Amino acid sequence: MKILLLGYGKMGKTIEKIALERGHSIVGKIDLSNRSEMNQLEKADVDVAIEFSSPEAAYDNITYCLKKGWPIVCGTTGWLEHRSEIESLCQSEKGAFFYASNYSIGVNLFFRLNRQLAHLMNGHGYKASMTEIHHIHKLDAPSGTAITLAEGVIAEDSSIKGWTLAPEQEGGLIQIRAEREGEVPGTHIIRYESEVDKIEIAHTAHSRAGFALGAVISAEWLPGKQGVFGMDDLLKI
């Protein structure tokens, strides 16, 4: 499979390594310094694009790929205010777009556990909050994974209407504390606390390899399909 990499930072390099190990070829490695090289590629040159760039570049990269007819897998977060536009473009271009805030198989199982716990805790007087910890190079806060987790809690708990970044305090919102330290790949902790006890669940990534493998597996799955997809489709959850 011919893969175009959009974003060639640490994540892009890890994706490249795993893709090559799985027998694929990399037809382009695009970042801010060489974006014009993408214009030299024809539709037949690329089977699928994998986009892990930056919040500022993601929208233009996704738009370009959909108009070019390239299926695209995106893991960049921080641009989701434009998601409805991208999904409309995907439909009008009869393209294929795969988005996940996190491509780790373990994290996506954790998303399901999070919703189940939120369902069980609803109405029992516990206050929900969250902490997410990432490396100092991460540009957006809270993380896309934290937002997905918050949305899962909101869907299951009618008393919670949205999320807010700590230290802001407002009733009816789940508070998210975003911490940036060292080279932490990603840790997410959801807690429920009352006057008498506390319940926590957590997911800790040991490296970027799990995210990269999930992105490559998604890229293998996407070509030949039409529409907007996510990890639930891939995992058949």
Can you say which residues are annotated as belonging to the binding site for NADP(+)? 35
| Domain boundaries, given as residue ranges, for the chain | 2-103+209-235, 105-204
pLDDT at position 237: 61
Show the DSSP H helices in the chain as ranges. Answer: 10-21, 55-68, 83-92, 105-121, 144-156, 209-221, 231-235
| Matching residue, tokens 């957006």 | 140
Copy the structure tokens of residue 67.
């108009």
Q: Which of 68, 134, 188, 203 is catalytic?
A: 134
pLDDT at position 78: 85
pLDDT interval class at 139 (50, 70, 90):
confident
Q: Which of 2, 29, 82, 138 is catalytic?
A: 138
Q: Give the CATH architecture of domain 105-204.
A: 2-Layer Sandwich (3.30)
Contact in structure between 105 and 237 (CB atoms under 8 Å): no
**CB < 8 Å & 24+ apart, contacts of 59-62:** 59/85, 59/86, 61/6, 61/7, 61/30, 62/86, 62/97
pLDDT interval class at 46 (50, 70, 90):
very high
Q: How high is the mean pLDDT of the chain?
A: 93
Q: Class for domain 2-103+209-235, per CATH?
A: alpha beta
Can you say which residues are annotated as belonging to the binding site for (S)-2,3,4,5-tetrahydrodipicolinate? 135, 144-145
Residue count of the chain, please give it.
237
pLDDT digits (tens, 9 = 90+) for 177-198: 999 999 898 999 999 999 999 9
Instruction: State yes or no: pLDDT of 73 exceeds 80.
Output: yes
pLDDT at position 63: 97
For residue 75, count CB atoms less than 10 angstroms from its CB and return exposed for 0-12, middle for 13-18, buried for 19 or more. buried
Whether the upstream peptide bond of residue 142 has omega within 30° of 0, thus cis, is: yes
Lowest mean pLDDT among 77-91, 123-137, 139-153, 163-177: 163-177
Contact in structure between 128 and 160 (CB atoms under 8 Å): yes
Among 105, 136, 108, 130, smallest CA distance to 199 is for 130
Across 14-24, average pLDDT = 97
pLDDT interval class at 140 (50, 70, 90):
confident
Instruction: State yes or no: pLDDT of 150 exceeds 90.
Output: yes
Instruction: State yes or no: pLDDT of 3 exceeds 80.
Output: yes
Can you say which residues are annotated as belonging to the binding site for NAD(+)? 75-77, 100-103
Q: Tell me the C-alpha distance between 68 and 61, whole Å.
A: 11
As a whole number of Å, the CA-based R_g of the chain is: 19
Contact in structure between 62 and 72 (CB atoms under 8 Å): yes
One-letter amino acid identity for 73?
V
Among 192, 198, 122, smallest CA distance to 156 is for 122
User: Is 138 annotated in the active site?
Assistant: yes
User: Is 67 annotated in the active site?
Assistant: no
Higher pLDDT, 201 or 206: 201
In this prediction, what percent of the chain has a pLDDT beyond 70?
A: 99
In this prediction, what percent of the chain has a pLDDT beyond 90?
A: 79
pLDDT interval class at 167 (50, 70, 90):
confident
pLDDT at position 76: 92
Instruction: State yes or no: pLDDT of 217 exceeds 70.
Output: yes
